[in-house]
C-alpha cells in the first residue's frame, strides 16, 4: 500500500472508530492520541512490516484508540482537522525519512501504552 494512501486511510478510520464517552480531553491531547496511533500504524505497515505480528504494537494501538474514545475526542476534532494534522506529519518527507523520524516516538508509545500510562 502506498504511504500516502495509508496516511489518508488512517486519517479517515481513527476518528470514525471513536464513540462518545463521559470524559473529555483537550484538542492537544486528542491530537496526541491520534498521532500515536497514526505512527504505530505507519510503523507496522510501511517501516517494519514484520512488527505487525508483535502484540505490543497491537496493544499500544488499541490503547491509544481507547484513550481517544474515552476522551470523547471525536466531538473535539472534525475530519478536516484530522486530515490536516495527519498530512502535516508526513509533509515533505519520504517514507524512509518518516520511518526514521518516528522510530523513537513509536518505541516511547509502546512503553507508554503497554505499561498502562497516559
The pLDDT value given to residue 20 = 41
Retrieve residue 60's grid coordinates: 499500544
Provide the CB-side half-sphere exposure for 13 (13 A, CA). 11
User: Does 66 map to a domain?
Assistant: yes
Residue 9 has pLDDT above 60, yes or no: no
Q: Could you report the per-residue pLDDT of 64-116, keeping only the tens digit for each? A: 999 999 999 999 999 999 999 999 999 999 999 999 999 999 999 999 998 75
Cell 504494537 belongs to which residue? 57
Sign of CA dihedral 75, 80, 83, 88: negative
Which has the higher per-residue pLDDT, 24 or 43? Answer: 43
Answer whether residue 19 is part of any domain. Answer: no
Q: Residue 37, Cβ neighbours under 10 Å: how many?
A: 24
Q: Which domain holds residue 37?
A: 3-9+24-114
The reported pLDDT for the residue numbered 116 is: 58
User: Structurally, how many domains does the chain consist of?
Assistant: 1
Residue 17 lies inside a defined structural domain of this protein: no
pLDDT of residue 25: 73
Domain assignment of residue 33, yes or no? yes
pLDDT, residue 53, reads 86
Amino acid at each position: 500500500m502506498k504511504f500516502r494512501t495509508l496516511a489518508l486511510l488512517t486519517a479517515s478510520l481513527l476518528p470514525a472508530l471513536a464513540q462518545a464517552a463521559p470524559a473529555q480531553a483537550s484538542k492537544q491531547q486528542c491530537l496526541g492520541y491520534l498521532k500515536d496511533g497514526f505512527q504505530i500504524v505507519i510503523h507496522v505497515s510501511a517501516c517494519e512490516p514484520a512488527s505487525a505480528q508483535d502484540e505490543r504494537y497491537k496493544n499500544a494501538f488499541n490503547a491509544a484508540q481507547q484513550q481517544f474514545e474515552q476522551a470523547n475526542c471525536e466531538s473535539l476534532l472534525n475530519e478536516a482537522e484530522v486530515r490536516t494534522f495527519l498530512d502535516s506529519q508526513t509533509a515533505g518527507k519520504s517514507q524512509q525519512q518518516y520511518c526514521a523520524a518516528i522510530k523513537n516516538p513509536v518505541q516511547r508509545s509502546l512503553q507508554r501504552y503497554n505499561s498502562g500510562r497516559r
